[in-house]
Amino acid sequence: MRGKLPQVEVETKTGSGGIFDVEADGQLLFSKDKEHRFPANKEIVEKLEALLK
């Protein structure tokens, strides 16, 4: 992700119970719990690019 969006700072937080959420500026971009799947390869990058526009 850093290669595609160098202006984005990435932080990993350890969770439990299979939680996999992606947030940016307090906004939920993806939730495995809500979607019942992991994100597609480019899905998070595309959502971050849209947020930066």
pLDDT in tens, 14-34: 788 888 999 888 889 999 999
Mean pLDDT, range 49-53, rounded to an integer: 86
CB 18 within 8 A of CB 11: no
- 48: which DSSP letter? H
Mean pLDDT, range 38-45, rounded to an integer: 91
Is the per-residue pLDDT at 2 higher than 80? Answer: no
Q: How far is CA 34 from the centre of its chain?
A: 13
Q: What is the DSSP string of 13-42?
A: ---STT--EEEETTEEEEEHHHHTSPPPTT
- pTM: predicted TM-score of the whole model, two decimal places: 0.75
Mean pLDDT value across the chain: 86
The predicted structure's pLDDT at residue 1: 62
